[in-house]
Structure 1
Amino acid sequence: MRKNEMGKKKEFNRYNILYIIMLAIFLAIGAKLYYLQIFKGDYYKAEAETVNSAKLVTVAAPRGLITDKNGIKLATEVPGYNLTYTSTTDKSKDNKQLFTTLQKVFKILDDNKEVQTDSFELKINPYRFEFTSRDAKVKQAMLLMFLKNRHFQDNILKVNFKNRKEGELSNSEKTMLNNELLKLTPEQIYNRLLADYKVKDGIESLNIKATPDVIRRYLIVKDSIKMNFYSANKSINVATNIKKDTSLIFEQSLSELQGFKVENQPMREYPYDQLASSVLGYISKINPADKAKYEAKDYDTTVDYVGTAGIEAVMESSLKGTNGEKDTNDDSVAIIKNTAHTKKAVPGKNLQLTLDANLQYATETSLNSVMKRLQIQGISGSDSMDVSNATRGAAVVLDINNGGVLSLVSLPGYNPNDFSTTQGLTEAQSQKYFNPDYEKMANADGIKDLTDYMFPIDKSIKGNTTIRMDKFDYYPKYLYNYATMSLIPSGSTFKPMTAIAGLETGVIDANSTYDDRGGYDMTGKGGSEGSKYWNSFSSDGTLGVVDVVSAISRSSNPFFMNVGQKLREKFGDDVLAKYAWMFGLGANPASTSPGTGIELNENFGQVYNTTSMKSLSASQAIYTIEEDLTNGLGGTFPQIDLYDRDGDNLIVYDGKKLSEIKVQIKNYIKDSVKNGTFSKNNYNGLFKQLIATDPKYKGKNFTDSNLQSIINDISKRAVQEGHGSLSLPHNIFNASIGQGMDSFTPLQMANYIATIANGGTRYKVHLVDNIKDSNGKLISKTKPVIMDKASMSAETRDLVMQGMNNATSAEGGADGTAKKALEGFPIPTGGKTGTAQFTKPEVQSEIGRGDYAWYVGYAPADNPKIAISVVIFDGGYGADAAKVARGIYEGYFKNDPRMKQYQNQYDIKLKKIN
């Protein structure tokens, strides 16, 4: 019995202990809950509300660095301080306080000499739009986008289209809508926005002097808020890249500036300003028209910048990092300690270019110096050629052994820093880059008004009657890359190519000679001087008997025209082109993607060939005929409009659209040029349809005689002049000396010379040497790529290079064309000068344009390392372009032992970029 009692006692003790433990736990939990809910309830409620009111804010990722081959930073990131505004959750409170708060913000900015962000395209004094494009059609598209983003179309849709949405309209109805929008003047648009945003009402409560400039300051912010309405919790920039001291002042005042905060954001900086702008390009805010495209690529279109030109644009996917995110409190000050939603920004990849920054500087300096001298000089040469407009030029330096670009210059250049912030361009910058003063340029002499002649109204732009075009390519375009985009007649720099074709085909050899009498019979029949078809080269003089080497060094036009004649007689019109294509001068018209391979956007020129000549002649005939008919050929017949116009597809007569009739007429013209076919009945019927369909001819009497005059003009332009010129021998004669349809970019010309200098290997041109991540890990390395192997024997190369070597040193004979420019330089070089006409000499003289001055070359002459090309628009003669080459060589060979005595002799001081 005692045993049982003892057992029960043990059992009782175990359960008691368990109950006690459980009770203690529940008491502890209850006490904690009581503490949290009663004593700390208000605290945690506030914390919960703070977390729930947090906003997800984008943290911009730094762009990748861009360096030269030696690691010199050409584009980098620096700390930036932006003053931003984010609408608060209480919209009514926002509207009441915004103007008062903005007044305080503007005072701090003004007191500290900071600039308000102004990327608003609508300007005042006078009212106008300033869009960041030179292209008139792009400007028109940007204007329509501006208006539609601000719902200017809503009332038009309501009244004219029964309140349908734009997406529900037909193409013709959309055109009608756009035409209605384009009727609005900038002043009407501006005043409408002031009313919609209630700007004047807001300013009236501030008791300040509401000048037009003050009103616009407030409008800019209101418009930014409106455009940001659908981007929840996204901030807008009010002032960018403000000084650190200014940012601290704002930080101290944020409690009084509801909705405002200072954000740290990396800013793109180009340490050497204009240096290499033609390569680097620039970045800018995402254009509203491209918003959908970039959103699809996970860009934050409210804060992200994108490459807009140059390497910045074409390598955007590598340079752009991955944005991060952070949670920020609604009061715009406190940062939430809970980082569950925080994502770190990942910097973009770094690019190392093949470019040599010091050589780039030497090239830019040398080209700019020679251009400035020509402008001051005004005239050049024995015939006093006008070089006062030598405001544009380009130069390229290539490594001949791998195709790497060591220097690439386009002048005038620009400062990429002008575009890398959202402060907007100044009025002066906007005019310089996008809105040239045509009237001022056309009346530079103050004697004769040439505005309508040099800069006529661009009648090819649909629905436009006021935008002018630069008919003669006169004014300098700062954002245009002349090195990769300009197609220019190559002049005598093409002659080594003609020599190669002649030597390789056997129509000439090392002993072949020709008597240069200072001109050439363009019929190819050996006519004498003074005959109708004798082309005289008066500025060259008579060179006498020359062989291929002396013809290159002394630049004999007749010798190479005779080579062209021999090539044509034996192999036909296309043989010269087939050789030129191997060296990268043009490409077979059947080629799908011709080019040098460079990463930048480029045009690619063409050498004379029969297929391309037909297309070129057809396009030229269309242009001339459109102009003739629009002017009524000086009153010979009533005016006829063949230009494409907005609304042409809306005008229908007898089941046929006006646009279709115009296209059919132009196709007939092209066929007439290419094939020599011409049917008067077909043209007569089409023009009768045109006159019956187009309302502008209503009530106008077109007689049979009028129609006959129109058709006769087309027959003359298309068949006699267009088609008739295709079979004439002068085409290949001109092509043999780099004129006619021969047109190439400076980049193509440098690649052609590099191919000669290295023995016939044409490399793919490239600017990017390697790509690394932000930690320095190699991602990719560019290897040389061979695009073609030219058919050129060692003997041919030696003869051609002997002629080019003599052009700069005049060894073994008379002075070469580049001797004066390069004499005394301690390192032997080879090259070729060139002078190419822009248009007829009398027209050039009237409008103040001169010839293109060319120089191409390589160095050292005995063991080439680099190839160069230089061109100066309106630069006169190639001998002046050769002076640029001297500066380039000084920069490249600065560390060569042979340069020491030369530098002392000529007192050469080369700036070194660190």
Structure 2
Amino acid sequence: MKKKKKFNKINSLFIIMLVIFLIISSKLYYMQIIKGQYYKDLATVSSHKSITIEAPRGLIKDKNGIVLATEVLGYNLTYTDSTKSSKQLFATLQKVFKILDKNGESQTDNFPLKIKPYRFEFSSSDPNVVQGLKLRFLKERWIQDSILKVKFKNKKEADLTKDEKTKLNNELLKLTPEQIYNKLLNDYGVIKGISSLSIKETPELIRRYLIVKDGIKMNSFSAYKPISIATNIKEDTSLIFEQNLSELPGIKVENQPTRKYPYGQLASTVLGYISKISSADKEKYLAKGYDTSSDYVGISGIEAALESSLKGDNGEKVIQKQGKLNKEVISKKVTPGRNVQLTIDANLQYATENALNSQMKILRGLNEVQGLNVSNATRAAAVAIDIHTGGILALASMPGYNPNDFSTSQGLTDIQSKKYFNPDYEVMAKAQNKPQDIIDYMFPIDKSIKGNTTVRKDLYDYYPKYLYNYATMSLIPPGSTFKPMTAIAGLETGVIDGESTYDDQAGYDMAGTGALSGKNWNIFATDKAQGIIKVVKALAVSSNPFFMNVGQKLREKFGDDVLAKYAWTFGLGADPKISNPSTGIELNENFGQVYNKTSMKTLSASQAIYTIEQDLSLGVGGTGSNFPQIDLYDRDGDNLIVYDGKKLSEIKVQIKNYIKDSVKNGTFSKTNYNGLFKQLIVTDPKYKGKNFTDSNLQAIVSDVNYRAVQEGHGSLSLPHNILNASIGQGMDSFTPLQMANYIATIANGGTRYKVHLVDTIKDSNGNLVSKIKPTVLTKTNLSTTTRDLVMEGMNNVTSAEGGTDGTAYEALKDFPISTGGKTGTAQFSSLDLMNKVGRGDYAWYVGYAPAKDPQIAISIVIFDGGYGSYAANVARGMYESYFRNDPRMAKYKDTFDIKIKRMD
């Protein structure tokens, strides 16, 4: 019995082991035979890659919710380089180009090296910036390697001294665009690749392949980063590519949000534009976490100012490849950009731009008005501000541009590039039938660019600059629109009151003696004598003598700076001790200045340097003397030229610093100047072999003495400075934005607000992130009496009160809502020069409405627009839009041609 029991236990154990073995065997058979390939693929992890999912950019809306900048779904064609796709690249591109061309699509072209003729085109017109961009372009493509090998004993650039780096840069800049182009063709193997396709090679076709090869080269350190072949292709075209992807290794159609500006040029200088990250900015944006190979950034306007809000956080998708299996995992979700709502009223903005364009067209048709040339009325700006908040309701700079031109990665066309960044002034002037001597005079070769023989500069600012914001950047003499400020200073200091009189005889003694005639008597040709007048009428008729007399009284009692101290509180200039003064606007701006002695010294010194540099380079003195040409311009390589231990660059800087000191302080040492100019002549190789006599040297030094001390310093303390300033001339220069804020400050009773374009910022779900509240910058303590007198005079500018038509009466006489304002005509230059170069005076108008309870303040300027009364016509168009829903406008709806484009 015991033996049988033992046998049963062994048998049971055997059976259990057999079952386990069969189970394992079956599982192994299933895994190895039936699912063997599956697990083989699963076990073979070939790669994984991360793909960026681009976040939609935030919307930009007007105050009423009208969308001014949005995102639309675009179809982009990309290429990702790999071992497999690179072997068939040229054959693949041949098929891609054929499909693109057949369907009317454009290849992405941000490559700055152009052909026919060979040239570089960068997104800048600044010669120094262009030079820097060219050097970066060359170094990113390792063009410097051959130079380092031959001329620097194969050193690395990082190991070069400062002077050696300058020499390297100079060698690179000597390379012509054609030489660089041909080298890249060779380095990238483009000709060899195309020749294998048996197609007709044309320069245009060769460049198309070069663009792609360059993109691959620049992307070589970013694995799995696709390059753009075409952007914003039509949906039908995208479907054709989708159907042919099996024959196009590396090619992919991607859905990508694309920036769209629905109203084209509307508010372009407010909105700005976006573009791909330039090579110069890569390091900055890399540090902020941007994908510099694909991300777009704001370049100007609100797009740039609020880049951190508008730009969302990109997501990330990880693709794990395990044999033949792909698995996608979203490792980071997309966060859309925040939405920005502006204070801008899109309809008022449209009406403002339309009114400016219409008035400029009328002026160009007139060609001349009352002796003033208006044939070049091609630029203008206008601003409207809510006087109780500082919110900007309209900000127009004309001509504008279409930001959609920049929002695609296919790049600007040659025509657009020239228009925006590289205007050919000679070609443009010839198209206007200007004679060559006038072309050479108006658009001289820019001698500040070393070795330049072709690039001309617009010396008299004749042609429009489309990307320039004339509303925030242009510093312009305000002319008579400054007179309310002079009135305020006079009334607040007590040098005049509402009953003070002056006998306006249409002229003034610029020496400040008070004489009514004599050698210093300045006659205002366009004015007529007004006789005995008070401040209210002086504003209405814009009397120059009255306000010059106020300026003289201010100077006699309080000194030269008193007018400035009052103007500063209204935002017209600022104390020179303040660094970076601002209106508060979110955009880039210049900030103009009113006459004061400190700023006048700095300005006069800068002007002296400019004229002395220019005239010495021509060998012409300020008194008509002639001498050998002397070059004081800063040139590349000046720091490499050394004589007796002193660099040429240091000598030039020292001479110019001496000139500045001479202007500011009236000091002049002939010994020091003689020594420096002798050093300059000996050190600079361009004077080698030229005979500079002592007489030549003395003529140069004497001319500098005359320009710096007699003209520059001698003019600083003359009465005419404040006399001109009191009527908005001389060194007074302000932006249209500053002028609108100054008028708003008067209109609201003396509170100067920080101006702003942004109202709210919300996240993509509509949750409020921030709300901009009105911010007070200055309380001017303007007395009620002064405000009432000044506004009475300004109200009379637009009416016929007091028996005399105001200077803006014709433009606004029958407008149903009473308004106040001031016209201004600011001189560009002397009448002879203006006639010679085709320029005219600036036409200004500033105002507010309604007259008795102001809500809105405006400023308008038309370059070469003649008289301010013409700018007042633009004010009417702006008011028609702003008050379009006011009951007072209802009965006039059949009278006024109110063309408001409804955008909502």
TM-score range, shorter chain: over 0.9
Q: Distance in 1 between matches of 2:789 and 2:264?
A: 44
Pairing 1:39–2:34 present: yes
SS state at 1:709 partner = helix
Pairing 1:76–2:70 present: yes
Once the two structures are TM-superposed, the CA of residue 446 in structure 1 deviates from its matched residue by 4.0
Aligned residue type for 1:800: V
Pairing 1:524–2:512 present: yes
Q: Distance in 2 between matches of 1:24 and 1:864?
A: 99
Q: Distance in 2 between matches of 1:758 and 1:419?
A: 40
Q: Residues 582 and 791 of structure 1 are in contact (CA less than 8 Å); yes or no, is this contact kept in structure 2?
A: no
Q: Deviations over 1:872-898 (max 9, x none)?
A: 111111011100000000110000111
Partner of 1:603: 590
Once the two structures are TM-superposed, the CA of residue 657 in structure 1 deviates from its matched residue by 1.2
Q: Residues 808 and 872 of structure 2 are in contact (CA less than 8 Å); yes or no, is this contact kept in structure 1?
A: yes
- Higher mean C-alpha deviation, range 175-184 or range 29-38: 29-38
Q: Distance in 1 between matches of 2:245 and 2:732?
A: 65
Pairing 1:572–2:575 present: no
Pairing 1:236–2:227 present: yes
Q: Return closer, same or farther for 1:814/1:335 CA change in 2, 3 Å cut-off.
A: farther
Partner of 2:425: 438
Once the two structures are TM-superposed, the CA of residue 23 in structure 1 deviates from its matched residue by 8.6
Q: Distance in 1 between matches of 2:415 and 2:810?
A: 40
Q: Return closer, same or farther for 1:331/1:602 CA change in 2, 3 Å cut-off.
A: farther
Q: Deviations over 1:637-676 (max 9, x none)?
A: 2111111111111111111111111111111111111111
Query: Which one of 177, 196, 201 corresponds to residue 186 of structure 1?
Result: 177
Q: Distance in 1 between matches of 2:328 and 2:585?
A: 48
Once the two structures are TM-superposed, the CA of residue 43 in structure 1 deviates from its matched residue by 1.8
Query: Which one of 384, 392, 396 corresponds to residue 383 of structure 2?
Result: 396
Q: Distance in 2 between matches of 1:739 and 1:30?
A: 102
**Aligned pairs (5 A) from 1:656-675:** 656-675=646-665
Query: Which one of 839, 842, 861 corresponds to residue 871 of structure 1?
Result: 861
Pairing 1:57–2:51 present: yes
Pairing 1:760–2:750 present: yes
Query: Which one of 894, 900, 903 corresponds to residue 893 of structure 2?
Result: 903
**Aligned pairs (5 A) from 1:633-648:** 633=620, 636-648=626-638
Partner of 2:122: 131
Once the two structures are TM-superposed, the CA of residue 911 in structure 1 deviates from its matched residue by 1.8
Q: Distance in 1 between matches of 2:145 and 2:358?
A: 55
SS state at 1:593 partner = coil
Once the two structures are TM-superposed, the CA of residue 605 in structure 1 deviates from its matched residue by 0.4
Q: Residues 84 and 260 of structure 1 are in contact (CA less than 8 Å); yes or no, is this contact kept in structure 2?
A: yes
Q: Distance in 1 between matches of 2:787 and 2:675?
A: 58
Once the two structures are TM-superposed, the CA of residue 699 in structure 1 deviates from its matched residue by 2.1
Q: Distance in 1 between matches of 2:453 and 2:17?
A: 92
**Aligned pairs (5 A) from 1:337-376:** 337-339=327-329, 342-376=331-365
Partner of 2:740: 750
Query: Which one of 497, 508, 517 corresponds to residue 485 of structure 2?
Result: 497
Query: Which one of 390, 407, 412 corresponds to residue 425 of structure 1?
Result: 412
Q: Distance in 2 between matches of 1:579 and 1:37?
A: 93
Aligned residue type for 1:260: I
How many residue pairs align between the two structures?
Answer: 898
SS state at 1:846 partner = helix
**Aligned pairs (5 A) from 1:184-583:** 184-328=175-319, 336-339=326-329, 342-380=331-369, 382-383=370-371, 385-443=372-430, 444-462=432-450, 464-529=452-517, 531-583=518-570
Q: Identity across aligned pairs (percent)?
A: 72
Aligned residue type for 1:88: S
Q: Residues 55 and 337 of structure 2 are in contact (CA less than 8 Å); yes or no, is this contact kept in structure 1?
A: yes
SS state at 1:779 partner = strand
Partner of 1:826: 816
Partner of 2:616: 629
SS state at 2:181 partner = helix
Q: Residues 553 and 806 of structure 1 are in contact (CA less than 8 Å); yes or no, is this contact kept in structure 2?
A: yes
Q: Residues 553 and 810 of structure 1 are in contact (CA less than 8 Å); yes or no, is this contact kept in structure 2?
A: no
- When normalised by structure 2's length, the TM-score is 0.96
Q: Residues 337 and 764 of structure 2 are in contact (CA less than 8 Å); yes or no, is this contact kept in structure 1?
A: yes
Q: Distance in 1 between matches of 2:43 and 2:829?
A: 77
Aligned residue type for 1:43: Y
- Higher mean C-alpha deviation, range 206-215 or range 74-83: 206-215
Q: Distance in 1 between matches of 2:405 and 2:15?
A: 78
Q: Deviations over 1:666-723 (max 9, x none)?
A: 1111111111111111111111111121122222222221111111101100000000
Q: Return closer, same or farther for 1:594/1:27 CA change in 2, 3 Å cut-off.
A: farther
Q: Distance in 2 between matches of 1:792 and 1:79?
A: 54
Aligned residue type for 1:94: S
Once the two structures are TM-superposed, the CA of residue 237 in structure 1 deviates from its matched residue by 0.4
SS state at 2:790 partner = helix
Aligned residue type for 1:414: Y
- When normalised by structure 1's length, the TM-score is 0.95
SS state at 2:385 partner = strand
Q: Residues 47 and 322 of structure 2 are in contact (CA less than 8 Å); yes or no, is this contact kept in structure 1?
A: no
Once the two structures are TM-superposed, the CA of residue 749 in structure 1 deviates from its matched residue by 0.4
Pairing 1:653–2:643 present: yes
Q: Residues 138 and 172 of structure 2 are in contact (CA less than 8 Å); yes or no, is this contact kept in structure 1?
A: yes
Query: Which one of 76, 96, 118 corresponds to residue 105 of structure 1?
Result: 96
Aligned residue type for 1:274: Q
Q: Return closer, same or farther for 1:587/1:329 CA change in 2, 3 Å cut-off.
A: same
- Computed over aligned residues only, the root mean square deviation of the Cα atoms, in angstroms, reads 2.2
Aligned residue type for 1:406: L
Q: Return closer, same or farther for 1:566/1:412 CA change in 2, 3 Å cut-off.
A: same
Q: Return closer, same or farther for 1:337/1:577 CA change in 2, 3 Å cut-off.
A: same
SS state at 1:450 partner = helix
Q: Distance in 2 between matches of 1:292 and 1:489?
A: 40
Once the two structures are TM-superposed, the CA of residue 94 in structure 1 deviates from its matched residue by 1.6
Q: Distance in 2 between matches of 1:865 and 1:307?
A: 33
Q: Deviations over 1:2-35 (max 9, x none)?
A: 9xx9xx99xx99x999999999778656644442
Q: Return closer, same or farther for 1:21/1:406 CA change in 2, 3 Å cut-off.
A: farther
**Gaps spanning 5+ residues in structure 1: where?**
none
Q: Return closer, same or farther for 1:30/1:737 CA change in 2, 3 Å cut-off.
A: farther
Pairing 1:734–2:724 present: yes
- Higher mean C-alpha deviation, range 114-123 or range 562-571: 114-123
Q: Distance in 2 between matches of 1:300 and 1:31?
A: 52
Q: Residues 399 and 464 of structure 2 are in contact (CA less than 8 Å); yes or no, is this contact kept in structure 1?
A: yes
Q: Distance in 1 between matches of 2:268 and 2:307?
A: 16
- Higher mean C-alpha deviation, range 210-219 or range 406-415: 210-219
Q: Return closer, same or farther for 1:276/1:335 CA change in 2, 3 Å cut-off.
A: farther
